[in-house]
Each structure stands twice: as C-alpha cells, then as structure tokens.
Structure 1
Amino acid sequence: MRLGNIRIKKPRNFDHHFLLLAIILTVLSLVSAFWLDHLNYSQKKISYLPWVSLTHLKEKTAPPSPEVKVFLADFIQQHLERNGISPDSISTERTDEGLVYIAVQTTATEYTKIKDKFMAAIKKKKIKANLREEKSQSGEIVVTVELREKSTTSGWVIFRYTAPVVARKAAKPSPLPATEKKEVSKKVALVIDDMGEDLDFLQELIQLKTPLTVAIIPEARYAQETAAIASKNGLEVIIHLPLEAFNNHISSAGAEGLIRTSMSPQDIRSILEKDLNLLPQARGLNNHMGSKATTDEAVMDIIISFLREKNLYFLDSKTSPKSIAYDLALKKKVPAASRQVFLDADEDRSRVGNRLLELFNLANKNGQSVGIGHPFPETLEVLKTYLPRAREYGLQFVPVSEVLKR
C-alpha cells in the first residue's frame, strides 16, 4: 500500500496471531459452557450434557458394601456344611459395618479333614487368611482365621476342638507348641468411665478377670473405696476429671469439683491437688465432659503441667472434635492417649457389641486401640460375651498405661 511516497507494510505474523487468539477464546468459551452446565446439574437445574453417566461411573467404582461381606459369611457357612460340619455347630454374627464372626465347634478329626479345603476355598475367593492356632488353659485347641480383603479385616472364623490324647514317653515330654509362646502384640485398652457410685458394678468388672482401666469421679460417693478395691484387684485407676462443657451442660455425676474455663490457675490447681489426694492410686487422668475446657489452651496447660509434675498420663476422652488436649500433652512431654470408640455414649445400647467389634478391628488395623464404656447393664453383658474372645481376634487387653504415646 502506498500513501504518497510512504509504503505501509502489513505484519507477516498478523494472521497467525489472530488465529491463535480466536482459538484461545473458543476454548475458554467451551470450558465456561461446560462448567456452567455442570453447575446447573449439581444444583439440580436444567443441564444439557450427560453428567448422569459420570455418576453411574462413580457408582461402579465405589467400594464394596457391607452386603458383600454378608455374602462372604453365607458362602463360608455353606462351604462348611457341604464338608460335613453340622449347622448346629456353626454360629454366625454380623455387625452393622459388615464384619462377620463365625464360630465352629468341631472335632480334631473333622478339622484336619476340612482345613486344607477351607483355606483353598477362601483363597479362590481372593481373600487373604491369617491362621493362628493356640491351646487354651483347658486344653482346647482354638484356631483363628482372620479374613482380609484389600488389607482390611472382613471378619474371623474360629474353630474349636478338644486336643486328642496322645501317649507320651516319660523320658521325653513333648515341648509346648510354639504358638503358645507367641506374644499377642495387638492391644486394646478399655476404660470404664463414671465409676465411684456402684461397688456392685465394680465387682462385676473384677470378675471379668481382664486388665481394664476404671475412671473414677473424685467426688463420687464411693470414689476412694472404688480406687482401693480396683487397684488391689489388678484394675488400673485414673481420675475422671469433671471439666466444663459447652452450653453449661453438667451431667448428674461429676457436678462437684467441676473445673470451669473462668477459674483462676490457683483454683484449678487446688481442685487437681484435692482430686489426687482423694485418689492416690491414680496412674493418669481423663476428662469427664469437657467439650469446652479441652479446647481452651490456658486451662489445659495448667492441667497438663500438673500431670507432668506428678508423673501422670493423660487420656483425651475426645468429647469435642476440636480438643487440643492430646496434642498439648505430647508437646509438653506428657504420655498421652486418645479415645477412638465410645461403646455406649448414646441411648442406643443395642449397638454396644458392634462398637466393641469396631474397637477390635481398629486394634487389628493399627496395632492398638482405646475405647470408653460406662457402667450400664447392657455394656456389662456385652463385655461378658466378647472379652473372653479377645485372643481369638489376635488381641490382648491392657491398661491404658500400655498404649500411651510418649
């Protein structure tokens, strides 16, 4: 082009740049359209793209439901019956989470006959099985088969039979089976809160012959008697310290000696000193209520410092998901643990058994677990049923002092 004697040149890359800009704007427009359409779909408004099919795709890749594990229990029972085990000798329990517990009372001959077939059938279902054989004090052989799918425990099958009598030479007594010497490494610590009001319930706990931990409210009617009897009979004692909750909630037990966030450090320490004088057998302390106090760093700093000074441990009952108490204890070099399962914190006591099995499963998965229960008749009945089975699950009950993080 010429303008007078001036020649104007059109840039060589003009068309290329214009095309690139057009492509970028087109892509941005498409992305915006897709995003707006998906936004409409997520808000259940009119959308034009097949987002539903993507939802179906997600459903296909969802993890197996508890019904899959129920199918596994049925498969095992049918397999055992086909191989000569009487249905009357098999009992099956299922939890709400899908865990299964199958107990089989059999004979040494029957077990020897079906063992290899059973393990082969389980393997064919692509289920890993960890088998452990132990001899009980009564001479009964207990075979525990832990079933695992994708590194997660699905349940247990327990075979029980009486060991056959074998003649032994007097000069060479046969050694004990190696499995009897094996120490169970997975630990469960169970705390019974709100103790100190019912000595009869304490005697029931003692009769369980299990190293439980009892958390005693210092101002309870029989607090000192409870601590003395529990300690004498192998139960670990800790202080169940009443702490302020949100909404000024105070339970019927523990209103006396309540530590509030508005108290001075001197008043808080005075209560702690008095509680320890009342319960000198205490090895540690956990909070009673405390959804507000355990989120207050100033209050918890006083309590944790007191525990460090007295060489006591701290158990966070986790009455609030925002509790800072456990982390603060570790930060200040105080041995600590944190509750993972409440067995009976709500009114639905029918689920206590399921929650105890959940506690067992956490110990199997993580090596240890901590649970808290309360002195309710329903809880006691579940403990009577399940505590003797602990070794069948590959677990050992221990006091809280044996599962502390330091």
Structure 2
Amino acid sequence: MKKTMKPKRKTIKNSNRKTAAISFFLFGAIALAAVFTLEFLDYRSGKYSLIFSKLIRLQQKIPAAEKFNRELTAALSGRKIPFDFLKDQGGVSHFKIELPEPLYLPLSKDLRWLVEKNRGLYRLSEVQGMKEQVIYLIQVIFEKKLTHVILISKRLAVQPRPIEMPVTPARTRTGKAPRLAFIIDDIGYADLISDQLRELGIPLTAAIIPAAPYARSEAQKIHEYGLEEIIHLPMQPKDPANHHPRDQFVLTDSSAAEIQVLLQKAREVVPYARGLNNHMGSLLTSNPQAMRRVLERIKGAGLFFVDSRTSPTTLAYALAREMKIKTFKRDVFLDDEQSYEYSSGQIKQLVELARRNGRALAIGHPFPSTLAALRDAIPWLKQQKIEVVFASALLE
C-alpha cells in the first residue's frame, strides 16, 4: 500500500506547482495589462509615457496642432481655395495650395493669425521665384515640434513696365569703369532656374544650397552654361524658431570634423564651386570662435568666402581678411522687399556704390520681380559702360 501511495503524493505536489505557476503568470499578465492601461491613459491625456512616448514611440497628438489643422481646412474651404493634404509617417501634416496672386496676401494673414492664435510658431522657410509663379514653403511648429509643412504656389500677374534709369555714364574716381557682380542665392529648390539665369546673358554667380532637391542637377547645368557657381552653406541663425539640423547647418557648437564633413558633402553636390557664401548665419557669423573654425576649413579646402552680411554684427569678412582668405562682402540686397520697383532701386544704389568704390556686390534671389528688374537694367548698365563680372573677380 505504501508503494502505491507515493505516486499520488507526487501527482498532488506537481498539480499544486502547476496551479501556483498559472496563478503567478495570470497575476503578472493582469499587472502588466494594468501598467499598459495606465501608461496609455497618461499618453492619451498628453502626459509623458515611458512606454508609448519613448519605447514604442507612437505619434502623440498635439491638441493645438489638430485645432489649427481643422481651422486651416475650414479657411481654405471658405475661400474656395483648392488644396491637397496628407499626413506623413512622422505625423507631419502637409498642405499643397495653389492660388492666384490676389488671394495670397489675405490667406497669408489668415495663416499667421491662426498660428499665433493657437500659440504656435510660423516660419517662412523658403521662397522660390519662377517665371509665372512664386513658391512659398512655410513651416508651422507647435510645442517645439514641426507639425505642418505648407507649400503655396502663387500664380503671378503681368510684370510692370520697366523703370527709367538715369542716362549719365558712371565712372569711378580713378576714371575706370566700375565693376558689379550679382550673386543669386537659394538655387536648387526648383528646376530650370539655371535656364532663366542663362537667358539674362550676363555673368552671374549662382549660390547653390547643397541639400536642396535640385541642387545637383542645377549645379551641372550652371557649369555647362558657363556661369559661376558657389556653395550656399547653411549656418545657424539667431531666430530660435528656425529648424537647423546638424547634417545640413553649421552650428555654433559644430566641431571642426563636423564642418569638414558638411563641406565635403557640399562639394560632392556642387563640384565646380571655387567658393561659398553663408545661407542665414546671423548667429554663427557673429561668433568669432565658431566662425574661425569654419574659415579654417574653407581655407584648407582652397575656397574663397563671401560674407552675405545677414547680421550687422557679422565678423566673417574681417576674420577672413585676417586669415588671408580671398574674400568679399555683400553691399546690397536686391529683394528685401519683393517688388520690381524695389529691386530696380537697389540696382541704382549698387551702381552708386560701385562709382564711389570701384566695385560692388549685390545678392538677390530668383524671384520673378528680381530677375525682371535685372533683365530690364542690363541695357542701361551697358550704356553706362559698367562691367558686370563674376563674384570671384571682386575678391580681395
């Protein structure tokens, strides 16, 4: 009898162990489910969640961004402006809008007002001009996150009549003809801008942004057309709302190695560039330590540097001269105000500066109004016996 009882005791003991194990796992599962539930409720309410915000990285909705989304959609529908919309995998909402010129200003005001009302940040990231339209790229930021990218194509009206220029020939104090150079910034955001620059028929220097979608193809065409190209190197601005990723911008804390990598990548995209100028950079060009690190890399690469002077406190030009780098600085911006009349007036001012100093440099953008003013000024510049040269011909 004793021998037959032993297996039963063993069976009962094994059964108890299985029951305990099942109870343990059930309790653990319930506890884990409770933790996930509480974390998810925190996440949905906008609180930080280790599991859903960091480990799983679900897209957390920002109430102000969602509200702005609805209000912008309603505003576009109310004005009967057609648009396309999609949300990418990162949760960023993309609007593509096309409208005639008269509707742009009212919509622009609506956009700014809606962003400010919802306590967001509005950033006009890029403006690209073409023959028959101007494209605006707008970024909207809520809670320090990029939530919206808005692309607006504004169809243009007919350009105004050319402004009459003075007929007195310009001469410098030494009696020599003054020399002018024009740098056209932000090349690469649209295709075929190179064709428009070639059509002007004068020496122009194209400043190409390396990370722009058409940078490589435009750089190749500009070289084939016999125009000069330089790298338009993004540098950190003072505006904290600007989005400046480290793999595209030189920042004030960028190391020499990081700057070197940016320059190498830029030269791969713009292989015929013999120099560069700064894109933005109001903060970096005012920082002597950071700017010196940049200029050391520029000098090592054998490139010249043009200070775009995006800040009145820039030290870049002075430092470049001190470091014996071939350099020059911008005298005039052609299109701080985007209008034909303004750009024409700036060209007149450029001529006056060149008359006094012997040479002068203007920087503009490929806006239709800028290119039209430049095109209409060419006969007058020739009549004035003014020599238009590449930016590299003005270097000190």
* CA distance in structure 2 between the aligned counterparts of 1:377 and 1:338, rounded to whole angstroms: 25
> 2:344: which partner in 1?
353
What secondary structure sits across from 2:349 in the alignment? Answer: helix
Tell me, yes or no, if the aligned pair for 1:363 and 1:395 is still in contact at 8 Å: no
**Percent identical residues:** 34
- Equivalent residue runs for 1:96-107 within 5 Å: 101-102=166-167
> 2:248: which partner in 1?
257
Tell me, yes or no, if the aligned pair for 1:315 and 1:326 is still in contact at 8 Å: yes
> 2:385: which partner in 1?
394
| 2:325 is equivalent to residue 339 of structure 1 | no
Tell me, yes or no, if the aligned pair for 2:182 and 2:391 is still in contact at 8 Å: yes
| 2:234 is equivalent to residue 242 of structure 1 | yes
> 2:202: which partner in 1?
210
Q: For residue 204 of structure 1, what is the amino acid of its counterpart?
A: Q
Tell me, yes or no, if the aligned pair for 1:189 and 1:398 is still in contact at 8 Å: yes
> 1:188: which partner in 2?
180
* CA distance in structure 2 between the aligned counterparts of 1:354 and 1:192, rounded to whole angstroms: 17
> 1:363: which partner in 2?
354
Q: For residue 193 of structure 1, what is the amino acid of its counterpart?
A: D
Tell me, yes or no, if the aligned pair for 1:184 and 1:396 is still in contact at 8 Å: no
* CA distance in structure 2 between the aligned counterparts of 1:145 and 1:323, rounded to whole angstroms: 34
> Which residue of the other structure, out of 353, 368, 372, is the alignment partner of 2:363?
372
* CA distance in structure 2 between the aligned counterparts of 1:251 and 1:381, rounded to whole angstroms: 31
Deviation at 1:386, TM superposition (A): 0.5
Deviation at 1:255, TM superposition (A): 9.0
* CA distance in structure 2 between the aligned counterparts of 1:356 and 1:310, rounded to whole angstroms: 33
| 2:285 is equivalent to residue 294 of structure 1 | yes
Tell me, yes or no, if the aligned pair for 2:192 and 2:218 is still in contact at 8 Å: no
Deviation at 1:251, TM superposition (A): 7.4
| 2:314 is equivalent to residue 314 of structure 1 | no
Tell me, yes or no, if the aligned pair for 2:256 and 2:294 is still in contact at 8 Å: no
Deviation at 1:233, TM superposition (A): 1.0
Q: For residue 220 of structure 1, what is the amino acid of its counterpart?
A: A
What secondary structure sits across from 1:323 in the alignment? Answer: coil
What secondary structure sits across from 1:318 in the alignment? Answer: coil
Deviation at 1:326, TM superposition (A): 0.5
Seen in structure 2, the aligned counterparts of structure 1 residues 383 and 350 have a Cα distance that, compared at 3 Å, is: same
What secondary structure sits across from 1:355 in the alignment? Answer: helix
Deviation at 1:337, TM superposition (A): 0.4
| 2:338 is equivalent to residue 273 of structure 1 | no
Seen in structure 2, the aligned counterparts of structure 1 residues 372 and 390 have a Cα distance that, compared at 3 Å, is: same
What secondary structure sits across from 1:101 in the alignment? Answer: coil
- Equivalent residue runs for 1:4-43 within 5 Å: none
Tell me, yes or no, if the aligned pair for 2:338 and 2:367 is still in contact at 8 Å: no
* CA distance in structure 1 between the aligned counterparts of 2:162 and 2:377, rounded to whole angstroms: 14
What secondary structure sits across from 1:320 in the alignment? Answer: coil
Deviation at 1:349, TM superposition (A): 5.1
* CA distance in structure 2 between the aligned counterparts of 1:257 and 1:315, rounded to whole angstroms: 19
Tell me, yes or no, if the aligned pair for 1:315 and 1:338 is still in contact at 8 Å: yes
Deviation at 1:343, TM superposition (A): 0.4
Deviation at 1:356, TM superposition (A): 0.9
Q: Which runs of 5+ in 1 are unaligned?
A: 1-90, 95-99, 103-143, 152-182
Flag as ranges the 4+ runs of structure 1 deviating above 6 A: none
Seen in structure 2, the aligned counterparts of structure 1 residues 200 and 264 have a Cα distance that, compared at 3 Å, is: same
| 2:260 is equivalent to residue 231 of structure 1 | no
Tell me, yes or no, if the aligned pair for 1:338 and 1:370 is still in contact at 8 Å: yes
Deviation at 1:391, TM superposition (A): 2.1
Deviation at 1:298, TM superposition (A): 1.9
> Which residue of the other structure, out of 289, 303, 314, is the alignment partner of 2:294?
303
* CA distance in structure 2 between the aligned counterparts of 1:392 and 1:222, rounded to whole angstroms: 36
What secondary structure sits across from 2:166 in the alignment? Answer: strand
Seen in structure 2, the aligned counterparts of structure 1 residues 235 and 146 have a Cα distance that, compared at 3 Å, is: closer
Tell me, yes or no, if the aligned pair for 2:340 and 2:373 is still in contact at 8 Å: no
Which TM-score applies when normalising by structure 2? 0.55
Deviation at 1:146, TM superposition (A): 5.2
* CA distance in structure 1 between the aligned counterparts of 2:277 and 2:321, rounded to whole angstroms: 15
Tell me, yes or no, if the aligned pair for 1:269 and 1:302 is still in contact at 8 Å: no
Deviation at 1:247, TM superposition (A): 2.3
Q: CA RMSD in A?
A: 2.6
Deviates more, 1:363-372 or 1:264-273: 264-273
Q: Which runs of 5+ in 2 are unaligned?
A: 1-160
* CA distance in structure 1 between the aligned counterparts of 2:293 and 2:246, rounded to whole angstroms: 20
Which TM-score applies when normalising by structure 1? 0.54
Per-residue Cα deviation, 1:52-73 (whole angstroms, up to 9, x for no partner)? xxxxxxxxxxxxxxxxxxxxxx
Seen in structure 2, the aligned counterparts of structure 1 residues 189 and 303 have a Cα distance that, compared at 3 Å, is: same
Per-residue Cα deviation, 1:73-104 (whole angstroms, up to 9, x for no partner)? xxxxxxxxxxxxxxxxxx9956xxxxx625xx
Per-residue Cα deviation, 1:162-210 (whole angstroms, up to 9, x for no partner)? xxxxxxxxxxxxxxxxxxxxx9641101000000122322201101111
Deviation at 1:331, TM superposition (A): 0.9
Tell me, yes or no, if the aligned pair for 1:288 and 1:317 is still in contact at 8 Å: yes
Deviation at 1:147, TM superposition (A): 9.7
